[in-house]
């Protein structure tokens, strides 16, 4: 655990983002994606706040373990937990975990579908199906839909609780051919179920990138992840296509451990990298042991008027930042690596080539999370 370096999550900013999203999308319900521990922010406090205060009732996880943790730690709350990828019903006991804890598996292959449909204790359990419309990762094959319909009818089911698919390229223009093919394929799958008299209670297709481009807003649900944490998920060249201007819900701040003048060429840190210019060197209390990757070497850090460059090697516990001569950098003060403004994260991503998803998820367990 660190002192002075922290990841602060502001609930009022999340509330702002949810309001902004709801006022734009009008109809659909939000299935809030909180996999990977709420994209590094801490799933449990996020779900507790979003469920109690923002009336969000559905949450998306990647693994059964993530969903179980929510059920165990928030036993009095009333929400649905979807698990998107951690599925293998041939493991003894796995189905029971889902059934007994009312955790909803997103069934994405026929082998698991068969076991699910054949389990007597799950006869009335919600059936959730994900189809592969072009992502080519997980998902039932559209070409097999007739057989799938037979399997469903054979056990006397007449409805699907939630039918979904996932875009491969939502961070690119939604008008491109790949995205349009996926949209058309999903529409065809829906019609074929209807033609077979299988009713569909819920549908969803869109993650952040698609929502930002107004795609999938006529389904019953949307599945936003990244946008609710603040940043846009569109690539910079089409960023202007997005209506989204969320607040970054987190502030990542660290501590100035040391500050001193350096001369041009002075070697610093491991490997003795010479500094390119004379200036003020700040040693900050964050390193790859906290999730500040060695790939962030050279990145510009800006906190208000303070602006410096990460120089030399990123260490496990510290980084060195070179500020211009004359900068007043006081030992013992905090330095914000990012805060509410999306521009900071955007700049960070642009310079490092890392996507915001990864920056958040990499945040290490040594960095304490605080919630305000
Ligand atoms: C992660 C995920 C999402 C959310 O994606 P974002 O780009 O973060 O909005 C939605 N749907 C599925 C199936 C996912 O795996």
In angstroms, the CA 353 to CA 299 distance is 10
User: 163 CA distance to ligand 1 centroid (A)?
Assistant: 15
Tell me the two tokens of residue 83. Answer: 């698990």
Is the Cβ atom of 224 under 6 angstroms away from ligand 1?
A: yes
User: 16 CA distance to ligand 1 centroid (A)?
Assistant: 20
The H or E element containing residue 29 is strand 29-33
User: To test the ligand 1 pocket, which listed residue (60, 137, 204) has its Cβ within 8 A of the most ligand atoms?
Assistant: 60
User: 255 CA distance to ligand 1 centroid (A)?
Assistant: 33
Predicted confidence at residue 216, as pLDDT, reads 97
User: 315 CA distance to ligand 1 centroid (A)?
Assistant: 32
Q: Using CA positions, which residue lies closest to atom 6 of ligand 1?
A: 225
307 strand-pairing partners: 302
Residues 6+ apart with CB under 8 A from 120: none
Predicted confidence at residue 368, as pLDDT, reads 96
Question: Is residue 48 within 8 Å of residue 76, measured between CB atoms?
Answer: no
Is the Cβ atom of 223 under 6 angstroms away from ligand 1?
A: yes
Read off the pLDDT of residues 16-56 as tens digits, 9 standing for 90 and up.
999 999 999 999 999 999 999 999 999 999 999 999 999 99
Side-chain-facing half-sphere of 270: CA atoms under 13 Å: 9
Torsion from C-alpha of 73, 75, 78, 79, nearest 10 degrees: 40
User: To test the ligand 1 pocket, which listed residue (139, 207, 249) has its Cβ within 8 A of the most ligand atoms?
Assistant: 207
Residues 6+ apart with CB under 8 A from 122: 95, 98, 99, 116
User: 43 CA distance to ligand 1 centroid (A)?
Assistant: 15
Atom of ligand 1 nearest to the CA of 171: 7
Is the Cβ atom of 226 under 6 angstroms away from ligand 1?
A: yes
Atom of ligand 1 nearest to the CA of 233: 7
Is the Cβ atom of 208 under 6 angstroms away from ligand 1?
A: yes
In angstroms, the CA 286 to CA 202 distance is 44
User: 190 CA distance to ligand 1 centroid (A)?
Assistant: 21
Residues of the chain scoring pLDDT < 70: none
Is the Cβ atom of 84 under 6 angstroms away from ligand 1?
A: yes
Question: Is residue 205 within 8 Å of residue 215, measured between CB atoms?
Answer: yes
Is the Cβ atom of 162 under 6 angstroms away from ligand 1?
A: no
DSSP string, 78-130: --EEEE-S---TTSTTHHHHHHHTTEEEEE-SHHHHHHHHH-GGGTTSPPEEE
Is the Cβ atom of 132 under 6 angstroms away from ligand 1?
A: no
Predicted confidence at residue 161, as pLDDT, reads 98
Is the Cβ atom of 207 under 6 angstroms away from ligand 1?
A: yes
Predicted confidence at residue 86, as pLDDT, reads 84
Predicted confidence at residue 2, as pLDDT, reads 85
Reported for 170-177, long-range contacts at CB under 8 A and 24+ positions apart, including other chains, are 170/206, 170/207, 170/208, 170/209, 170/210, 170/213, 170/215, 170/233, 171/209, 171/233, 171/234, 171/235, 172/209, 172/234, 172/235, 172/238, 173/213, 173/238, 173/241, 174/209, 174/210, 174/213, 174/215
Considering only CA atoms, which of 88, 193, 80, 177 is closest in space to residue 131?
Answer: 193
| HEC secondary structure over 177-243 | HHHHHHHHHHHHHHHHHHHCCCEEEEEECCCHHHHHCCCCCCCCEECCCHHHHCCCCCCHHHHHHCC
Other Cβ atoms closer than 10 A to 226: 22
Is the Cβ atom of 225 under 6 angstroms away from ligand 1?
A: yes
């Amino acid at each position: 655990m660190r002192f002075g370096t922290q990841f602060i999550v502001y609930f009022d900013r999340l509330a702002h983002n949810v309001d902004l999203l709801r006022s734009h999308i009008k109809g659909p319900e939000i299935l809030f994606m909180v996999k990977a521990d709420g994209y590094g922010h801490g799933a449990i406090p996020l779900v507790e706040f979003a469920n109690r205060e923002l009336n969000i009732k559905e949450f998306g996880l990647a693994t059964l373990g993530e969903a179980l943790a929510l059920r165990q730690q928030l036993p009095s709350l009333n929400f649905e937990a979807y698990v998107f990828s951690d599925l293998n019903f041939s493991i003894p006991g796995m189905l029971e975990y889902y059934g007994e804890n009312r955790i909803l598996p997103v069934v994405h292959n026929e082998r698991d579908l068969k076991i699910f449909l054949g389990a007597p204790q799950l006869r009335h359990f919600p059936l959730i199906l994900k189809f592969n419309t072009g992502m080519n990762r997980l998902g039932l094959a559209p070409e097999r839909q007739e057989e799938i319909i037979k399997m469903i009818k054979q056990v006397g089911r007449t409805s699907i609780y939630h039918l979904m698919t996932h875009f491969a390229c939502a961070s690119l223009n939604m008008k491109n051919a790949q995205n349009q093919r996926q949209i058309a394929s999903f529409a065809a799958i829906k019609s074929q179920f209807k033609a077979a008299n299988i009713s569909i209670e819920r549908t969803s297709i869109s993650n952040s990138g698609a929502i930002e481009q107004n795609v999938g807003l006529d389904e019953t649900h949307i599945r936003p992840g990244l946008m609710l944490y603040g940043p846009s998920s569109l690539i910079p060249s089409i960023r202007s296509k997005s209506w989204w201007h969320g607040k970054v819900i987190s502030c990542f701040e660290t501590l100035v451990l040391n500050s001193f003048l350096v001369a041009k060429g002075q070697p610093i840190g491991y490997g003795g990298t010479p500094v390119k210019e004379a200036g003020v060197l700040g040693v900050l209390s964050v390193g790859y042991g906290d999730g500040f990757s060695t790939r962030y070497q050279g990145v510009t850090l800006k906190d208000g008027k303070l602006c410096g460059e990460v120089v030399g090697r990123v260490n496990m516990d510290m980084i060195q930042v070179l500020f211009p001569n004359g900068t007043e950098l006081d030992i013992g003060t905090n330095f914000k690596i990012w805060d509410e403004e999306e521009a900071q994260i955007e700049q960070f991503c642009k310079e490092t080539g890392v996507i915001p998803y990864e920056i958040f998820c990499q945040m290490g367990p040594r960095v304490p999370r605080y919630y305000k």
